[in-house]
Structure 1
Amino acid sequence: MAGDLLDNRGRGDAHWNWPSIHPEGRKFGLIAVAISLLVLLVFGWGPIGWPLLFLSLGVFAFFRDPERVVPQGDDLIVAPADGMVSLIMQVDPPEELRVDDGSGMGGLPEGQVTRISIFMSVFDVHINRSPIAGVVRRVVYIPGKFLNADLDKASEDNERQHFLVERADGLRIGFTQIAGLVARRIVPFVKPGDMVGAGQRVGLIRFGSRVDVYLPAGTDAKVLLGQRVVAGETILAEAGAQKLIEGIKQ
């Protein structure tokens, strides 16, 4: 049950459940099923209808929304997306997360920071979650292109949506939903002023995309390039901690 406390010494109760389907995706799944049944029952086009029906199940699966066990810790930064760590780079945060937006709330500081990019294929869960607990200070949508989300320039050219979350002690984390080749809709669940918990659902991107996370200055990633991460569960970094971590692909 959501909200249950579990720990690394066996406290709590864990069992497998079928993941729920997010309401945003139910209409798409039902439309796909209706079209499939129309083709099968009305027109009798089995060679077309059965693949369409199978595709309908894929639509429901795309919008699955499983529960996650979110690690609790003051300095922990958790993954906002499921997928593969495709880029880890030193970059300047996006201008939209840095400049004064007129709200009186500051943005990210100037200077290069570590950016972790998580690529989501159509087979990954596409519900995105907040990396930290705090107040949502900014939600900025920017229209753009639909380049391959694996490319570095997708951070600046593609349709995207920036989030800025501020922790109670003033630490700010910026992260960005980026549309990809197939994605055509970025859907936010939160707005400026909302309080969010670490790992709380904040939005989704339909059909293949990427999420960039901008770590605080002086913070290194605790994940490796090519590693698969799980939204709300994988610890991306610990604020203020710097250490080289190496891995071997095998």
Structure 2
Amino acid sequence: MSLFDTLRNTIVPVHKEGYPFVAAFFAGSLVLGWVFEPLFWVGLVLTLWCAYFFRDPERVTPQDDDLVISPADGRVSSIRMEVPPEELYLSTEPMLRISIFMNVFDCHVNRSPMRGSVVNIAYREGSYLNAELDKASKENERNGLVVETRHGQIGVVQIAGLVARRIVCWANPAQPLDAGERFGLIRFGSRLDVYLPAGAEPRVSLGQRAIAGETVIAEFNSPKGPVISRRS
């Protein structure tokens, strides 16, 4: 990543969902500084981290209905066939699932992976296991969207993590979404699962870094097979 890209993803506006948290961190810094002056600087560093966590950078999204775009910043933690959560009523058969794990330093604004219309939104309470664990898809608190696209219905599931305690979703049933459009966020560490119908081929590899709204994670109608990768 170039220096320009690093700065573009660092010095950016804070999403309004983060304002109360940034304010609370700063107020806490003032209190700590009143008790013991050096603690103010510790609190200030934490305040800056909080603002960084809630950053909301602009992204340049490819406009191609055959492409599936990453819904989150983070690391590709799983590419496998899995049955979607039952509350989505998406499929009783395994679908291609691509998972993106977000740590506490990743941007947590979530974006639609494809253009389409929301046909179902389903929230389910659950545990707060490490979101990197595969069983987190079934056991953790989650919020799922089903989006009707030109290639059929896809699922996008926000999964709370070990630290995350709040899933935010702004989308509504019947709402149209553009690829790369913001639809929610998860606070303080989490994961996004994308479920894709037959015909989708992965375009990322395990361990690869993905950028929400920009990285192509899968593709429909491609004559190419699955991605072959190597470490170098």
Same fold judged by TM-score > 0.5?
yes
Residue 189 of structure 2 is aligned to residue 208 of structure 1: yes
Structure number, greater radius of gyration: 1
Structure 1: distance between partners of 2:122 and 2:37: 46
CA deviation vs aligned residue, 1:8-49 (integer Å, no higher than 9, x gap): xxxxxxx95831100000110011111102221x33x12322
Q: Give the equivalent residue in structure 2 for 1:83.
A: 74
Q: Give the equivalent residue in structure 2 for 1:163.
A: 145
How many residue pairs get matched? 224
Aligned letter for 2:110?
A: N
CA contact (8 A) 2:88 2:121 kept: no
Q: 2:17 aligns with which of 24, 29, 40?
A: 24
Instruction: Give secondary structure in 2 for the equivalent of 1:152.
Output: coil
Aligned letter for 1:22?
A: H
CA contact (8 A) 1:113 1:214 kept: yes
Residue 55 of structure 2 is aligned to residue 64 of structure 1: yes
Structure 1: distance between partners of 2:109 and 2:208: 19
TM-score, normalised with respect to structure 2? 0.92
Residue 142 of structure 2 is aligned to residue 149 of structure 1: no
Q: 2:207 aligns with which of 215, 226, 229?
A: 226
Q: CA deviation at 1:58?
A: 0.4
Q: CA deviation at 1:134?
A: 1.2
Q: Give the equivalent residue in structure 2 for 1:47.
A: 38
Q: Give the equivalent residue in structure 2 for 1:179.
A: 160
Structure 2: distance between partners of 1:61 and 1:16: 12
Instruction: Give secondary structure in 2 for the equivalent of 1:65.
Output: coil
TM-score, normalised with respect to structure 1? 0.85
Q: CA deviation at 1:50?
A: 1.3
Q: Give the equivalent residue in structure 2 for 1:104.
A: none
Aligned letter for 1:193?
A: A
Q: 1:126 aligns with which of 96, 99, 108?
A: 108
Structure 2: distance between partners of 1:192 and 1:240: 28
CA contact (8 A) 1:216 1:240 kept: no
Structure 2: distance between partners of 1:134 and 1:199: 11
Shift of the 232–143 alpha-carbon distance from structure 1 to 2, 3 Å rule, reads: same
CA contact (8 A) 2:83 2:91 kept: no
What RMSD over aligned residues (CA atoms) do the two structures have, in Å?
1.6
CA contact (8 A) 1:143 1:158 kept: yes
CA deviation vs aligned residue, 1:47-70 (integer Å, no higher than 9, x gap): 322111110110010000000000
Structure 2: distance between partners of 1:172 and 1:38: 51
Q: CA deviation at 1:195?
A: 1.2
CA deviation vs aligned residue, 1:212-235 (integer Å, no higher than 9, x gap): 001121322110011000001001
Structure 2: distance between partners of 1:191 and 1:32: 31
Identity %: 50
Structure 2: distance between partners of 1:163 and 1:237: 18
Structure 2: distance between partners of 1:71 and 1:119: 22
Q: Give the equivalent residue in structure 2 for 1:191.
A: 172
Q: Give the equivalent residue in structure 1 for 2:28.
A: 35
CA contact (8 A) 2:122 2:144 kept: yes
Structure 1: distance between partners of 2:162 and 2:227: 32
